[in-house]
Each structure stands twice: as C-alpha cells, then as structure tokens.
Amino acid sequence: TALIVSLSVLCVLLVYLSDSLPVRLVGGQEYFQGRVEVYHDGLWGTVCDDEWDDTDAEVVCRQLGIGGVAKAWMGAHFGHGFGPVYLADVRCTGNEFALEQCPQSRWGLHNCEHTQDAGVSYGAVRLVGGDGPWEGRVEIYSEGHWGTVCDDNWTELNTQVVCRQLGFRSVDTQSKVHAESHGLILLDEVECKGTEYSLLACSHSALGQHDCTHSEDVAVRCTPVRLVAGESPKEGRVEVFMNGQWGTVCDDGWDDINAALLKYFKLGPIHLDNVRCSGVEMSLGQCQSDDQGGHNCHHSEDAGDSEQ
C-alpha cells in the first residue's frame, strides 16, 4: 500500500512538473547561469528582481534540474531581456518545485523595467567551515557530490577566481582559515589566469584525479564586500557583510566616486559611515570609519563604485 501511495504521489508530481510553465536561463556563459525567463502564451518573458533572493534561485535550480549552490543576481546582471515582464515580488519558501508555485504579485502586474531583470547562477563552488560565507574550505560540486580542492600549485589568482565566482569583491590576503574535510578530493593542479568566471574554467587535472590528502585542502578568505545592482559585475552599490547580514555604506566621506547610477534602492542596515581610506589598505574594513552601525544617513546616500 505504501508503495502504491508513493508511486501515486510521484506520478502527480511528474504530471505537475510537466504542466508547469517552461523556464530557461539566457545570457550566461554556461548553462547554469543567466537571466531567468518564463514561457507563456507563445512568448518568453522575464522576472523582476523585486524581492528576488537566493531562495527563489534555488527553486529555479530545482525546476531546471541543476545541482549546486543557487545564487540570485539582480539589476539585469546577465543583460536586459525583451518582451513582457511576467513575474514580480517572487517570494519562494524554498519548498516549491516550480517558480510559478511561489507567492508573487498577480501575473503581469509590476512596476519594473528590464534593468531589473532577475538572474541566477548555480555555482559549483562553496566555502565551508569559516566564520561567514566569505571564508572557508573550498569545495566544488560534481555529479551530485561536494569535494575539496588540493593546494598543489595554488596561487592568489586561483583565490581571486573563487571569490569572484561567489560574488565577493576581492581577496583578503591578511588572513587565512583552515578547515580539513573527510570527504572526496575532486580537484588538483588548478592553474587560473585570474580572468576566469569560475574555478572549473581554469586549467586543472581530471576531476577526482589527485595525489593529495585532506591536509592539503585549500581554504581561502575573501573580502566581505560586494557590488550590487550595477550594469556589470564591475559596478554597483557597495555592500558589506557584518553580523550575519549585508548592509550598505553611507557616502559621507566617500570620494573619487565613478559609480554607475543605481536603478533602485534596497532597504537594510547601513553598516558604515564616514569611511576614510588612505589607499594602502587591503580591504574596506581596514579603513577608518565611524562605529559600526553608527550613521546619520538614508539609503539615498548609499555609496557606489565602478572599475574603469
């Protein structure tokens, strides 16, 4: 009886998924990244990034059958779409099997432009065992399993690629963490040029082929600073990770700003104000600033940055 019930549930699930609206990723360099588009009434349309977060990205991942760590991207990170904007204010719980199951605004009801098209990526990389998402043992995802990376020939260029893939601004060379694993060792002899979009795009030995032990597991620390809502990964609003959440930086004392014009403002804590860097610091956290959380700012004063 239990088997019959289980098969019935599976059958219903498969029927539902087969009837769900098609979803695709467009504009990425690999199949596991891109702008989220939904097919409806003969047209592909986009999803607005209002309320868009990693939980929503996880549901898209599940619907497409892609494994790995789901990451949400905002501000048309993978380029502007065309046609209708179908969904907005998507608020998935993480238990849904398809994007259309998630709570959202009424179909087609929104105040968004294509500059706010939502995107996702499914990184085959994560950091484990550190004090935050910016540091820890490097693990990659392959064929349903997570495994570590051996430190043979590991360089700072490799670390730069890992940090960039995870959405962090730069590498913190002042600190190193270590957390030894007991699982698979999947990658060895990694050699990055520093320009790659993912660690697996770097030169490396065949997956699973190595001469290492877990005492050689690579661990890295990235600077917990990111750029959000820019026209490209090189520009946007500056956000800093503190006390378990991302917050903005007030522009009081912020000089030499070549920032892109931000398309919208996100609510959340303002972590830093009156930031004063001399130019020799390795990370924003080493610059002088007011006490964390102490400020007299509004989000209209959020600082931005742009690489030239």
Domain of residue 169, CATH code: 3.10.250.10
The reply to whether 8 falls in a domain is: no
pLDDT of 168: 76
The reply to whether 13 falls in a domain is: no
Rg, C-alpha atoms of the chain: 21
114 and 81 in a common domain: yes
Share of the chain above pLDDT 70, in %: 65
57 and 38 in a common domain: yes
Q: Is residue 37 over pLDDT 90?
A: yes
273 and 262 in a common domain: yes
Q: Is residue 82 over pLDDT 70?
A: yes
pLDDT of 239: 76
Please give the Cα distance from 18 to 156 (Å, whole number): 45
The reply to whether 25 falls in a domain is: yes
Q: Side chain identity at 138, as an amino acid letter?
A: V
Q: Is residue 165 over pLDDT 70?
A: yes
232 and 257 in a common domain: yes
The reply to whether 266 falls in a domain is: yes
230 and 217 in a common domain: no
Domain endpoint, select from 191, 223, 255: 223
The reply to whether 10 falls in a domain is: no
Going by pLDDT thresholds of 50, 70 and 90, the confidence category of residue 35 is: very high
Give the SS3 label for residue 73: strand
Domain endpoint, select from 223, 250, 273: 223
The reply to whether 9 falls in a domain is: no
Q: Is residue 229 over pLDDT 80?
A: no
Give the SS3 label for residue 122: strand
198-215 per-position pLDDT tens digit: 788 889 999 889 999 999
> Which one has a higher pLDDT value, 216 or 240?
216
> Which one has a higher pLDDT value, 28 or 176?
28
**Tokens standing for 157?**
């260029």
Share of the chain above pLDDT 90, in %: 26
Q: Is residue 230 over pLDDT 90?
A: no
Q: Side chain identity at 233, as an amino acid letter?
A: P
Give the SS3 label for residue 148: strand
Please give the Cα distance from 240 to 229 (Å, whole number): 14
**Tokens standing for 272?**
């830093």
> Which one has a higher pLDDT value, 104 or 230?
104
Q: Concatenate the DSSP letters of all residues of 211-276 into one string.
A: ---GGGB-EEEEESEEEEE-SSTTEEEEEEEETTEEEEEB-TT--S--PPPPS----S-EEE-S-B
Q: Is residue 269 over pLDDT 50?
A: no
161 and 233 in a common domain: no
Please give the Cα distance from 308 to 290 (Å, whole number): 28
164 and 115 in a common domain: no
pLDDT of 266: 35
Q: Is residue 1 over pLDDT 50?
A: no
Q: Is residue 76 over pLDDT 60?
A: yes
Domain span at residue 254 reads 225-306
292 and 234 in a common domain: yes
pLDDT of 10: 31
**Cβ-proximal residues to 119 (8 Å cutoff; 6+ apart), any chain:** 25, 27, 28, 33, 34, 35, 36, 72, 73, 74, 76, 77, 78
107 and 163 in a common domain: no
Domain endpoint, select from 98, 122, 146: 122
pLDDT of 179: 64
244 and 217 in a common domain: no
* Mean pLDDT value of segment 172-187: 74
Question: What is the total count of domains within the chain?
Answer: 3
pLDDT of 274: 60
> Which one has a higher pLDDT value, 217 or 10?
217
pLDDT of 232: 56
Contact between 140 and 204 (Cβ < 8 Å): no
pLDDT of 66: 76
Q: Which of 103, 123, 115, 118 is nearest to 30 (CA)?
A: 123
Burial class of residue 255 in the structure, from the number of CB atoms within 10 Å of its CB (0-12 exposed, 13-18 middle, 19+ buried): exposed
> Which one has a higher pLDDT value, 104 or 237?
104
In this structure, what are the phi and psi dihedrals at residue 61, rounded to the nearest 5 degrees?
-55, -45
The reply to whether 96 falls in a domain is: yes
209 and 172 in a common domain: yes
302 and 251 in a common domain: yes
The reply to whether 295 falls in a domain is: yes
